[in-house]
A and B are shown apart, each in its own frame.
Chain A
């Protein structure tokens, strides 16, 4: 089975069907990302369609020696942040970000049992809508999209250590909402 990068390479030479293959591989993931991050938007389908159109227009900027997944998720991230800005006309989204300002000690990624992770995920999904977008996004990418810190850092264009800080704060927020029940991950 060809990798995403091999298919992207073929699509870069103008093979539209190959691009269709990539759309097939990522549409469900990006729809899920849109629904969780933007909290069930009515226009998730249109947003994801726009992401694929932008990805197609900019496909030749993709370096096939790197991974395709963070590249397309980065386009999705930009699209979703713009959408949030449109929705929140008074509130500003992602203003001065003190998390990215200072060097942070990198929190290690934790490997927990499937049962613990399932509990944490359920609790997270239940309270996700109350979490600020800045912390909601790494939660969605880590717990729902199953990405590691490095991939999340590439998508959000922040240092890896900042991903750890944001996830740790997000867990703290969720824990408070869930009445101090521990969030694993």
Chain B
């Protein structure tokens, strides 16, 4: 055993002295640490941006407000979430967590704690960014064809509400409801209010109000409202 060990030590020292094994300089590790930290920061900012984009889209197509009409509204919200953006968020979050777990403050804690911290930061940051004018400005650029793909494509594709959600501005009152100009295609629809229509924030509607309507398409541009609420046009 002693002989073996002597050989091992000698073999290591020979590799260093004769085979030219070199110690990497300190700046190499410093650079690696800076690159890793920068990569982690870029990933975190990307996550915040993507999450705020999801919130912005849901506000724009109206599904964000649909849960105030009950279970049917919640389903509309789920259907309105862009799945590929959610998948992208999940992939980036896992990559970021893997990077964070290279550091002692990451691996000393359970996976759910580090991942939970990332999700919390992304939620808070995402909601904060969604309330700035960033996405409105980018959306404006996309409408005028000034944004390169995939940004231009993203902003363009999410203006139309999914399924039975309608967003528009009242242009005139009718006997059983009102007529609205739809935000997504510029067309008009007649909205019929029934005794069953849910009005969680009241029925004080007047021309010029921006509304979210969840309802059933009756054909000939007529919608029987399941729920209606007024929203801030922004």
Contact = CB atoms under 8 A, between A and B. Distances in A.
Contacts of A162: 110
A101 B23 CA distance: 36
Given A101-B110, A104-B110, A45 B8 contact: yes
Given A24-B9, A45-B4, A16 B24 contact: no
Interface of B: 1, 4-5, 7-9, 11-13, 15-17, 21-26, 28-29, 101, 104, 107-113
A58 B22 CA distance: 9
Interface in A1-31: 12, 14, 16, 19-20, 23-24, 27-28, 31
Interface in A26-72: 27-28, 31, 45, 48-49, 52-53, 56-61
B75 to A, nearest CB: 30
A119 B143 CA distance: 76
B106 to A, nearest CB: 9
A141 to B, nearest CB: 16
A103 interface: yes
A28 B4 CA distance: 10
B16 A19 contact: yes
Contacts of B9: 20, 23-24, 27
Contact of B24 (A52, A60, A103, A159): A60
Contacts of A153: 108
A23 B12 contact: yes
A94 interface: no
A76 interface: no
